Amino acid sequence: MSEPVIQLSTLSKHYGDTLAVNELSLSIARGNIFGFLGANGAGKTTTIRMLCGLTKPSTGSGLITGKDVWKERNNIRSQFGYVAQKFSLYPDLTVAENLQFFGGACRVAPGLLRERVTELLRQTDLEGKRHATAGSLSGGMKQLLALACALVHRPSILFLDEPTSGLDPVNRQQLWNLLYSLSSDGTTIFVTTHYMDEAERCTDVGFLHKGKLLVKESPRNLKRSFTGRLLEMNVEPVMPALAALRQVPGVLGASLRSGRIRIYSAVAEQLVADWTRAWPFPDFQWLGHEWGDADMEDVFSAYSQDYHQILTPRAEQREQP
């Protein structure tokens, strides 16, 4: 088995008394799309900045293709492309000029650079905006341009920090289609996001909560980690019922999904049986219920809220066929 492209071992970052990243350990194989999920402030951006050699780790180590991300940062920068959260290109330069500038900064040969600019404009559907200034582009087009500039030197690793934040569904799909193509060609992609639906698109997913890695698995295995089905209640009026059901013994948590109340409980079947015999809420009308399968939002809720009663231990989970 080949060495992982990215390998972190108890990597931590302190800002004074604040622990932004807490002993993060994980490895990512070549060609994988690794989704790094978590709420705002979880430590995702800090982790990416350490990997890119922009922030010095406090403790632990990080390796990219076997080289230390801080001590050898100048030697590994040519191997990766980085797209930050905020638009960081030159707004007064045209789309083509931004690509040419970053290609030159990455020492792409002039003849090859012309080919790369043409290719990237086509891949990102920016050919028609070649002569437009970057500052005049829509938010989605700015993100696609930033991605194109990060790819101009053909990096083998791509770091993307919440690249789809604020994008419309069309631009989001366009960006992900490009990521699929890059991954199939062997590019390793490390993408941070707080969109749970994007976790479904990744090879592996890591959940970060208050700087701590809760779990790293494939989306399929993460959804398998639920020990049972989820109870969806159709109750009216829904909002006061949601608050009341959260207080029921045996209910770990409840959320609103498509107008229904989704119940997290290790004893959901027993709850339904008890409520069928005697519904304890005279002010609410129970109109019916269904059983649903867990999605990535349910998975993240369970891990971040420590609903261990409804999660299969990871060692057992991996043994499933």
Closest alpha carbon to 19 in 54, 46, 37? 46
| Beta carbons of 144 and 171 less than 8 angstroms apart | yes
Give pLDDT, residue 313: 64
Domain positions in the chain are 6-217, 224-318
Share of the chain above pLDDT 70, in %: 97
The number of beta carbons lying within 10 Å of the beta carbon of residue 154 is 13
Residue 316 has pLDDT above 60, yes or no: no
Residue 228 has pLDDT above 80, yes or no: no
Give pLDDT, residue 315: 39
Which of residues 39 and 22 earns the better pLDDT score? 22
Please, what is the angle between helix 110-123 and helix 139-151, to 10°? 150
**Residue 141, phi-psi category: left (phi > 0), alpha (psi -120 to 50), beta (remainder):** alpha
Sign of the four-CA dihedral 49, 53, 55, 61: positive
Give pLDDT, residue 128: 94
Give pLDDT, residue 319: 42
Tens digits of residue pLDDT in 132-141: 999 999 888 8
Tens digits of residue pLDDT in 234-292: 999 999 999 999 999 999 999 999 899 999 999 999 999 999 999 999 999 999 999 99
Tens digits of residue pLDDT in 133-184: 999 998 888 989 999 999 999 999 999 998 887 778 888 888 899 999 999 9
What average pLDDT does the segment 189-218 reach?
Answer: 92
| Reported confidence tier of residue 314, pLDDT bands at 50, 70, 90 | low
The overall average pLDDT reported for the chain is 91
| Residues comprising the chain, all counted | 321
Give pLDDT, residue 321: 43
* pTM more than 0.85: yes
What average pLDDT does the segment 25-42 reach?
Answer: 93
What CATH number matches the domain at 6-217, 3.90.550.10, 3.40.50.300, 3.90.78.10, 3.40.50.150? 3.40.50.300
| Reported confidence tier of residue 54, pLDDT bands at 50, 70, 90 | very high
Residue 318 has pLDDT above 70, yes or no: no
| Beta carbons of 5 and 157 less than 8 angstroms apart | yes
